[in-house]
Amino acid sequence: MSDKKPGPPRKATSLRVPGRARTSSTTPGTTHSLDDSAAPRTMRTKSISLRTARGRTTAQQRWLSRQLNDPYVQAAHKQGWRSRAAFKLIELDDRFHLIQPGMRVVDLGAAPGGWTQVAVKRGANRVVGVDLLPVDPVVGAEIVEGDFTDPDMPEKLIGLLDGKADLVLSDMAPNTTGHGPTDHVRIIGLAREAMYFAFEILAEGGGFVAKVFQGGSEKAMLETMKQAFTLVRHAKPPASRKDSSELYVVATGFRPDRLNLHQDND
Ligand SMILES: C[S@@+](CC[C@H](N)C(=O)[O-])C[C@H]1O[C@@H](n2cnc3c(N)ncnc32)[C@H](O)[C@@H]1O
């Protein structure tokens, strides 16, 4: 692990059509060339229709049809990203310059590994992905299978990173119940736990990104974040589905000295 300080912010790359995109080296561990500049906004795709339901329920049929016709799914497959979600981090990073060469990065809720791939590809020096589910190895990253709330986890991750983290990412989502208000409470609970986890393992000046959902109940968490970070913003990257209330909170400039000033009583 180098102790290199993160360099100056990278200039935001414009999203280009795949044919004209900057090509990049192959990330080991995949057979594809990972091209992190080619988000599929401008891509034309052929619509695929399913002729038969083959025993699928209407909901399954709808999901499959959406997947097959989703340009991000197609682009992720083509470019070697393990998830369409990889584009969300690419877009967030293009906008906020979160990942800098030499950084130590923790990716909470890493499976199947798309965000972990992006962190490695964008030059982080040490990357650790954590998930309850197994994740296929990502070359350049360590994978920990387990619950991030495990009391041993902060120490374990700091050990693997060889120091505190510069960036904690959380794309975690709990199992959904289909009951909107319950799911909302669960995701906010998870995001809040991720925030407190980040407080434990972040180095001064570090950043934190977490998936939240639109609604009122994250206000108290936001207040806590505003105390603990220099800048807190919300973003809905283009890759985040428009019909989803998902959005990301992006906090930078961690100030551990400010932590005790505010209690999150949400
Ligand atoms: C939407 S997926 C993440 C996708 C990932 N960002 C990617 O690009 O491949 C959310 C993940 O959060 C994980 N997760 C949920 N609760 C967790 C917990 N307490 N500890 C670790 N992982 C958790 C789930 O197992 C799931 O794999």
> What does pLDDT average to over the chain?
82
Pick the CATH number of 86-261 from 3.40.50.150, 1.10.540.10, 3.40.50.300, 3.40.50.620: 3.40.50.150
Q: What are phi and psi of 259, to 5 degrees?
A: -60, -35
CA of 265 relative to ligand 1 center, distance in Å: 25
Q: What is the pTM of this model?
A: 0.81
Instruction: Please tell me the predicted confidence (pLDDT) of residue 70.
Output: 85
Burial (CB count within 10 angstroms: exposed 0-12, middle 13-18, buried 19+), residue 11 = exposed
Distance from residue 86's CA to the centre of ligand 1 (Å):
13
Buried b or exposed e, range 94-113, using 16+ CB within 10 angstroms = bebbbbbebbbbbbbbbbbb
Q: Kindly give the distance from the C-alpha atom of residue 242 to the centroid of ligand 1, in angstroms, as a whole number.
A: 21
Whole-number pLDDT of residue 219? 81
Number of Cβ within a 10 Å radius of residue 241: 13
Confidence of residue 140 (pLDDT cuts 50, 70, 90): very high
- The predicted-structure confidence for 213-235, as pLDDT tens digits, reads as follows 876 557 889 999 999 999 999 99
Specify burial of residue 41 (Cβ count, 10 A radius: 0-12, 13-18, 19+): middle
Nearest to 234 by CA among 67, 42, 95, 45: 95
- Residue 130 CB–ligand 1 contact under 6 Å: yes
Question: Would the pLDDT of 184 be above 90?
Answer: no
Answer whether 84 contacts ligand 1 (Cβ < 6 A): no
Nearest CA to ligand 1 atom 24: 109
How sure is the predictor about 261, in pLDDT bands with cuts at 50, 70 and 90? low
Q: What is the pLDDT of residues 98-129, one digit of tens each?
A: 999 999 999 999 999 999 999 999 999 999 99
Backbone angles phi, psi at 209, to 5 degrees: -125, 130
- What 3-state DSSP class applies to 167? strand
Query: Where is average pLDDT lowest: 11-25, 73-87, 105-119, 156-170?
Result: 11-25
Positions marked active-site: 211
Q: Best substitution site from 73, 121, 132 to test ligand 1's pocket, by max atoms within 8 Å of Cβ? A: 132
Taking only the tens place, the pLDDT of each residue in 26-52 is 333 343 457 766 666 544 455 666 566
Average pLDDT over residues 129-147: 98
Q: Where in the chain is the domain with CATH 3.40.50.150?
A: 86-261
